[in-house]
Amino acid sequence: MSYHNPHTPPRKSATFDDATLAEIRRAAATGIYDIRGAGTKRKVPHFDDLLFLGASISRYPLEGYREKCDTTVVLGTRFAKKPITLKTPITIAGMSFGALSGNAKEALGRGATIAGTSTTTGDGGMTNEERGHSQTLVYQYLPSRYGMNPRDLRRADAIEVVVGQGAKPGGGGMLLGQKISDRVANMRNLPKGIDQRSACRHPDWTGPDDLEIKILELREITDWEKPIYIKVGGARPYYDTALAVKAGADVVVLDGMQGGTAATQDVFIENVGMPTLACIRPAVQALQDLGMHRKVQLIVSGGIRSGADVAKAMALGADAVAIGTAALVAIGDNDPKWEAEYQKLGTTAGAYDDWHEGKDPAGITTQDPELAARLDPIAAGRRLANYLKVMTLEAQTIARACGKNHLHNLEPEDLCALTMEAAAMAQVPLAGTSWYPGKAGF
């Protein structure tokens, strides 16, 4: 006979918590894995776990209103005849037309252009809205080759060869049938209304030697003018960065596991890849070991939200950052003003991530013409430009407080870590000590 103490409250398992139980039941009822958009939702060590030290007597701060703090960045100085110059080191990451509406792509182009930065195409090709409204447009060359053509390579200002993404290193993309409109199908040369799965690896090469040949091909097609980036998901950042440099990259784009995606299996998003914070120092180390730091530029992405995040990524050695999720929020994604509609979809503002279903009330992750028309690309572009301006000002404020007249002059020495994990990953001392795990002595 079992004994139950009536005074003991029922106790739930930490291992089998409510979310786990719900997922087991969902899987048992449907027999299909969960697909969603956005990045990891679990808490991992991040830029919040770092603080700037600021200047006082041993360091001399700069005066905000009188002393300049430069934010410009030049990308593609290694081989490209026409490197690109941006006024702010905050770029807009590649997000596909198909995943996003034409209006959303236009808004990103408009906002980036006002702010003096670049935007990027995605798995699905270049739209005229985006090209027309983006002063500096980076064209992605992806394993799927959807929408790829030499004419658009030449219309771009830079080319990004996508090897992987932080949300799913080793995985391909998904665009479900609901979002394959006539236009999306036409651009991808695939039938309308049928689920599309992008390849997880490029059909044209198997390793860095063939990648080098592919890059030469892309350079020939574009007359050696355009900077060529290589984008990798954060998994083995030291070796991937070194191999990207060997293959001939002008710029390495490194996307950590917090990086957003349009649609991927939840189990993939939550269990594959390394936190952005842990990716930066090994990548910088690889560049330094090859004598290429600042010669091959490093763009970091995955969970960047504020000027403080930008400044921290740069202090750890990045030349620039890219934002995806935050840019979508700035143009109107998950806006509480659509709460009644999020409720009808069984979710709430701030948690809506079924982007693959194409029912986005904000008109951003949809191809439904009525929903897409809700997003005014001009007003949304202005919001993005405002947000980029604020982030740039924030990063400048921090850099000046550290006595730096350019964001690139921020350095690991300007930082301390709040936790042992962050200290180990960022290789900056735990606050109040001169030590981090892995470093000998105190």
Could you say whether residue 94 binds ligand FMN (CB under 6 A)?
yes
Residue 365 Cβ, how far from ligand FMN at the closest point, in Å? 6
Could you say whether residue 366 binds ligand FMN (CB under 6 A)?
no
Which residue type does 160 have?
Answer: E
Which residue type does 220 have?
Answer: E
Select from 210, 201, 266, 205 the least CA-distant residue to 232. Answer: 201
In the set 86, 95, 252, 385, which binds ligand FMN (CB under 6 A)? 95
62/190 with CB nearer ligand FMN: 190
Q: Is 165 helix (H, G, I), strand (E, B) or coil?
A: coil
Could you say whether residue 176 binds ligand FMN (CB under 6 A)?
no
Residue 322 Cβ, how far from ligand FMN at the closest point, in Å? 6
Residue 163 Cβ, how far from ligand FMN at the closest point, in Å? 9
Residue 234 Cβ, how far from ligand FMN at the closest point, in Å? 10
Could you say whether residue 234 binds ligand FMN (CB under 6 A)?
no
Residue 231 Cβ, how far from ligand FMN at the closest point, in Å? 6
- Kindly give, in sequence order, each residue whose CB lies less than 8 Å from that of residue 14, ignoring residues fewer than 6 positions away: none
Which residue type does 273 have?
Answer: G
Residue 124 Cβ, how far from ligand FMN at the closest point, in Å? 7
Residue tagged 């951003």 (tokens):
364
Residue 337 Cβ, how far from ligand FMN at the closest point, in Å? 20
Could you say whether residue 427 binds ligand FMN (CB under 6 A)?
no
Select from 179, 198, 184 the least CA-distant residue to 356. Answer: 179
The window from 1-9, 77-85, 301-309, 406-414 that contacts ligand FMN (CB under 6 A) reads: 301-309
* Separation of alpha carbons 274 and 256, rounded Å: 6
Gyration radius from the chain CA atoms: 22
* Separation of alpha carbons 365 and 351, rounded Å: 14
Are 367 and 179 in contact by the 8 Å Cβ rule? The answer is: yes
Could you say whether residue 259 binds ligand FMN (CB under 6 A)?
yes
Draw the binding track, 116-155, toward ligand FMN (x: CB under 6 A; -: no contact).
Answer: ------xx----------------x---------------
The window from 110-118, 316-324, 369-377, 385-393 that contacts ligand FMN (CB under 6 A) reads: 316-324
Could you say whether residue 416 binds ligand FMN (CB under 6 A)?
no
In the set 50, 323, 399, 422, which binds ligand FMN (CB under 6 A)? 323
Could you say whether residue 165 binds ligand FMN (CB under 6 A)?
yes
334/427 with CB nearer ligand FMN: 334
Residue 419 Cβ, how far from ligand FMN at the closest point, in Å? 21
Residue 14 Cβ, how far from ligand FMN at the closest point, in Å? 28
Give backbone dihedrals phi and psi of 410, rounded to 5 degrees, phi first: -60, 150
Are 165 and 187 in contact by the 8 Å Cβ rule? The answer is: no
Calculate the alpha carbon distances from 112 to 59, 174, 228, 242 in Å: 34, 26, 20, 30
Calculate the alpha carbon distances from 146 to 161, 189, 202, 213, 352 in Å: 13, 7, 12, 21, 27
Could you say whether residue 262 binds ligand FMN (CB under 6 A)?
yes
Select from 29, 25, 34, 27 the least CA-distant residue to 357. Answer: 34
Are 234 and 195 in contact by the 8 Å Cβ rule? The answer is: no
Could you say whether residue 324 binds ligand FMN (CB under 6 A)?
yes
372/416 with CB nearer ligand FMN: 372
- Tell me the H-state helices in 57-149: 102-115, 128-133
Positions in 21-40 near ligand FMN (CB under 6 A): 37, 39
In the set 129, 250, 255, 414, which binds ligand FMN (CB under 6 A)? 255
Q: Is 52 helix (H, G, I), strand (E, B) or coil?
A: strand
In the set 196, 222, 265, 325, which binds ligand FMN (CB under 6 A)? 325
Are 153 and 137 in contact by the 8 Å Cβ rule? The answer is: no
Residues that bind ligand FMN in the complex, under the rule CB under 6 A: 37, 39, 93-96, 99-100, 122-123, 140, 162, 165-166, 231, 255, 258-262, 301-304, 322-326, 365
